[in-house]
Copies of this chain bind each other. A is one copy, B any other.
Amino acid sequence: MRSYRKELWFQTATRRELVHITPHIESALRESGIQEGLCLVNAMHITASVFINDNEPGLHADFEKWLERLAPEKPHSQYAHNGYEDNADAHLKRSVMGREVVIAVTEGKLDLGPWEAVFYGEFDGKRRKRVLVKIIGE
């Protein structure tokens, strides 16, 4: 069994942003040389998400509106977590979108459906934060 590890760093310009990272994961997989296995991609921060969905700007606008409806940022005072913080909503939003994805690796490629694209979902950005890629297999 072989294993491979890589950190990807992101700093978004805005508090919330969805960043398309499929090409980064494909690069990592090529570097690993692994042909058959599983690829874990997870946010290493608890106010961010890694998820798979459509690479379509209209949908991303819908996500922003929808997540603000389910877990609004403001008023900050509505959350007990926001004594010294202002990011409780980011913890909740990330719970909806998920921390991680596990992707099959088949014949040296990410085994994704035709419209599956991997995203880093930032909900408390404007600072450097990390995503972990861990691949195991042969």
Residues of A bordering B, CB below 8 Å: 1, 3, 5, 36-38, 40, 42-46, 51-54, 56-59, 61-63, 66, 70-71, 79-83, 88, 91-92, 94-104, 106, 111-116, 130, 132, 134, 136-138
Contact = CB atoms under 8 A, between A and B. Distances in A.
Contacts of A97: 95
- Tell me the interface secondary structure of chain A in the complex: mixed
Nearest to A100: B102
B81 A58 contact: yes
Number of copies: 3
A81 B59 contact: yes
A81 B62 contact: yes
Contacts of A59: 79-81, 88, 91
A106 B134 contact: yes
A13 B12 CA distance: 42
A102 B102 contact: yes
11 contacts: A3-B36, A36-B136, A46-B52, A46-B115, A61-B81, A62-B81, A63-B95, A95-B96, A99-B101, A111-B132, A113-B130
